[in-house]
Structure 1
């Protein structure tokens, strides 16, 4: 799965707002070339919630473990929730990380190297082994974001 294919897949979900920062749009340069996906039927960036998925194409400060500064490397980050996190990692988000997990391994579903404690999963350079999982997890993350939106709108 390439970046464009993932973006196209996510943008087909109902109510998705995708942001793709770039030069001249007022966003920080570090975010240029990345993509951020929100559930926002109004098409306005929510001020009270985080994206349900992101695609990052480079290392960020304090987030270098995936070694995304390699040519062609990118990572899909998915707020799939604690149930999906536990199903994929075998532990609760706040449980200690076991040793041996390589956050730079390609085509593997892993706990996000920084936001794993919040139930985020990640895949560096998704490929044939994780294609179906990434699609399923993105659907789960979208559903969770939509439900959070509906709960907030009801109050």
Structure 2
């Protein structure tokens, strides 16, 4: 999957706000060129929630390297949740940034280098092995984000 294919897939889900900052935007420079996906049916960037998925095109400071400095390299990060994390990794979410994991491996679902502890999964350059699982996990993350939003809206109505 390409970055554009992933963005198109996620953006087609109802109520998704896709944020892809550029130099012309007020967002931090480190975020320029990356994409952030929120469940936000009103189209406003939420202030009290994290995105349910991201696409990053560069390694972030203080994270183990995914070697995103390679040509056309990017990483999809997905807030898959504990159940999906266990299904894909075989263990509970935990501090995962270790030397035992090659965070630069491509077309392989791995724990997120920083947010694995929170049930996030990642894949560098999804390809034939991970295209379908990546879409399924993005759908799962979207469903979870939408459900959280709806629960908050219900509690605000009370």
Change in Cα spacing, 1:124 to 1:153, as seen in structure 2 (3 Å) is: same
Gap regions ≥5 residues in structure 2: none
C-alpha distance in structure 1 between counterparts of 2:149 and 2:51, whole Å: 12
Deviations for 1:26-48, whole angstroms, at most 9, x for unmatched residues? 11111111000000001011111
Query: Partner of 1:78: helix, strand, or coil?
Result: strand
Matches within 5 A, 1:47-58: 47-58=47-58
C-alpha distance in structure 1 between counterparts of 2:32 and 2:60, whole Å: 11
Matches within 5 A, 1:70-149: 70-94=70-94, 100-149=100-149
Change in Cα spacing, 1:80 to 1:91, as seen in structure 2 (3 Å) is: same
Does 1:38 find its partner at 2:38?
A: yes
What's the offset of the Cα at 1:24? Answer: 1.2
RMSD: 1.4
Change in Cα spacing, 1:96 to 1:103, as seen in structure 2 (3 Å) is: closer
Does 1:5 find its partner at 2:5?
A: yes
Q: Show the counterpart of 2:16.
A: 16
C-alpha distance in structure 1 between counterparts of 2:127 and 2:142, whole Å: 21
What's the offset of the Cα at 1:99? Answer: 6.3
C-alpha distance in structure 2 between counterparts of 1:4 and 1:125, whole Å: 12
TM-score by length of 2: 0.94
Following TM superposition, the consecutive aligned residue runs of length 4 or more in structure 1 with deviations greater than 2 angstroms are 94-101
How many residues are treated as equivalent by the alignment?
A: 155
Gap regions ≥5 residues in structure 1: none
